[in-house]
Chain A
């Protein structure tokens, strides 16, 4: 397909109103090329297939001319008017295939085509992230578009953002629908006796998974004995017979038609599997004990299926399946999930793949079988065994008293000394007692407080309260940032995030081992000094009453930048001296 090329005569329109430029459309897998007939025309066009987002075309049979409308990732559309519908369909299919291939191999693309050409999925993810996060967008705009950082460098530090989504979208196995196949109702047209069943690959897969006998029959009969269509007709005939519940007819038809009988008889393969499973059941499990509980023949018992009660009758049950059996089987298949990764339309491939999976699992289970038996022989009854000792470390929660007493001990055990203190203690107590005696005899001080002092206290308190209000605001939880005018606040926050971004790249570039890193650091340093001066300017521009607070906010940013500058200078100096020193080794001593 890679070498394939398609050429059609078309008219290219840049918009619906455009009368169109006649020319030739060349389609290749990686891009499409439009060459106008008139060599002077400047409407030459080249579109990379991976840039195409979607294509639309006019419906055949409508009055409109055959148009193909390609929309690219930037939202621009290119319209091509074909000479006839055949041409258009050919092109449409070609592009569809190319697009599918493009999407199929995003990883390969990302690896093979270097940094600039990322997979569509990755690009979309990045766009989405930028769209959702305005802060990110601003940073991206500031640094990537001003060429301080390359696109890759910018995203390299945000792998987590990118990775989370990609993990989410891949790897998950698609489960089966829980709807039962038997739920597919035939549709009748009402006039004739024909019933129609609609089959999709999904349903076929499910039938094969649930009914190994059908799968086996398919492999055996198709296409050697009958066509796929005949096979399914027969299958649904059998299903139809089931649904009528007419066991007599079913038996009669089965007798006549050998192949039909395969579908009507209970599934041999399943039965075999079941027998194997039963053999594996713990022999101590006594299922017969439950037989006394048989109440299936009581009134109102049974499961309603298709409006009629589904009671298993003992006779003729070779051609009967109970709903419970179907349900169980279906549940087992759904739980197993989609065990094969065949995304094929070919029914036979699916059937064979399923078969292989089954055989592998059977081999596994047979190997397991013996081991399990040995285990079950050795293993005793769980409830008769001594309690197991789990490897748990017990949390030793001590008596809290121990803790407090030990604290007390700590105090007591601390080195004592301080005879001076001992002497002081009594003096101190004496002083205290004297004070009390004083108040006892002389009463409260009079005057209690001097008016000047009271005034001073008052004014100082008022001052504290008003300045505190200035600093913390009315609401103690409200930060100073909230009191800044909105643009200033945004500016501060933006500076902070951009400085963080720059510093992250700056520090991660060290140690400088390549010239690439060297230039990167240089660029970053320039950007940082730019930001530094912006900070200074911002500090100058704010109102005087806020300036102090703003400078407090700005200081840590500037300190962080200063540290980076310092490192840059030191590193530069070291490198230059090193290179000089390294050169010195080559030169003879004293040579300048």
Chain B
């Protein structure tokens, strides 16, 4: 069995973990309707599954206050109802739709309990990234033979600077696992998180200009398996936004102070590092020119 499997699992078999942004704030403010978006995504997933019969797709919903697995093509309980096949929906996605509905209801409930904060309407990207990495880690540990995993973030909501550390940690974990994080940002702003994620992990970052052609973007750029990427020309970003969030106020800054012991980032000078407890001395230089020991992290875009 193993030998057969190893023959079948050639280097172009992919495990695609799709992080689907279900942030209601984003979808209520954008030009493209969520149903349209889902159509494109479903068609894309179907295409990916069709590229190789061993390809595997996992969908994780990235909500406003929670995230969850909503689809796994390898599990057997994916049979949709007859109704869905009648309306021209790929049968496989029947259960996805149902799960997505449940997820959104739960997400809403969670928000009720938590009450609404005045935070940036960002999605829990760090959570869904962690879940994707957990899933991939499980696949890695299942044995020597496994598909080539990659993560695709379909994100529209802006970055949540308060998730900076968690997101960066996930990115570095992915880098260590050698899992590329592709990102397709459909929002209005620029996502520094996604740019950095793709840059660090060697994935592709793209910001589609025409959302009604999303499917075309997805199939042209993001359907490419890892093996083919060595010879396919994919769009490359001209620069990467390397800005970080300070640890004290969770603001995105391009210049700040860095703890010399643990490399925590602060937007203002502190007497003591809040992360590692190191006590900072006042340097003599500091008196002379307060800007001199600030490290500049300029966005390259």
Contact = CB atoms under 8 A, between A and B. Distances in A.
A444 B42 contact: yes
Interface in A340-390: none
Contacts of A312: none
A444 B89 contact: yes
Interface stretch (A18-26, A121-129, A422-430, A551-559): A422-430
Contacts of B87: 441-443
B252 to A, nearest CB: 15
Interface string B183-222: 0000000000000000000000000111011011100110
A429 B24 contact: yes
B104 to A, nearest CB: 6
Interface stretch (B2-10, B112-120, B283-291): B112-120
Interface string A433-462: 101111111111110111001101110110
Nearest to A437: B101
B221 A461 contact: yes
Given A429-B104, A448-B215, A443 B116 contact: no
Nearest to A450: B212
B145 interface: no
B298 interface: no
Given A407-B162, A444-B39, A457-B216, A436 B100 contact: yes
B108 interface: yes
Contacts of B116: 416, 418, 421-422, 425
A457 B219 CA distance: 11
A415 interface: yes
Given A395-B261, A439-B97, A464 B235 contact: yes
A43 B33 CA distance: 99
A450 B216 CA distance: 10
A461 B235 contact: yes
A58 to B, nearest CB: 64
Interface in B217-271: 217, 220-221, 233-236, 238, 250, 261
Nearest to B88: A443
Interface residues of B, number: 57
Given A395-B277, A439-B97, A476-B236, A458 B24 contact: no
- For the residues of A in contact with B, the DSSP-based class is helix
B34 interface: yes
B24 A417 contact: no
B275 A457 contact: no
A428 B28 contact: yes
Interface stretch (A466-474, A566-574, A576-584): A466-474
A11 B146 CA distance: 92
Contacts of A422: 115-116
A228 B193 CA distance: 86
B276 A396 contact: yes
A362 to B, nearest CB: 45
B97 to A, nearest CB: 5
A432 B28 contact: yes
Given A421-B116, A461-B235, A428 B35 contact: no
Contacts of A445: 35-36, 39
A476 B35 CA distance: 37
Interface string A145-172: 0000000000000000000000000000
B74 interface: no
Contacts of B101: 433, 436-437, 440
B24 A454 contact: no
Given A425-B116, A449-B215, A443 B25 contact: no
A586 interface: no
B104 A469 contact: no
Contacts of B38: 435-436, 439, 444
B213 A431 contact: no
B137 interface: no
A407 B165 contact: yes
Interface in B54-79: none
A458 B215 CA distance: 11
A43 B263 CA distance: 73
B276 A432 contact: no
Contact of A431 (B28, B275, B277): B28
A41 interface: no
A395 B213 contact: no
Which of B97, B213, B215 is most buried by chain A, counting CB atoms within 10 A of its CB? B213
A472 B236 contact: yes
A456 B104 CA distance: 34
A393 interface: yes
Contacts of B221: 461
A331 B214 CA distance: 82
Contacts of A299: none
A432 B104 contact: yes
B28 to A, nearest CB: 4
24 contacts: A395-B278, A398-B277, A403-B275, A415-B118, A416-B118, A428-B24, A431-B24, A432-B22, A432-B24, A432-B104, A433-B105, A435-B35, A442-B35, A443-B88, A445-B39, A448-B40, A450-B212, A454-B213, A457-B208, A457-B220, A458-B220, A461-B217, A464-B235, A476-B236
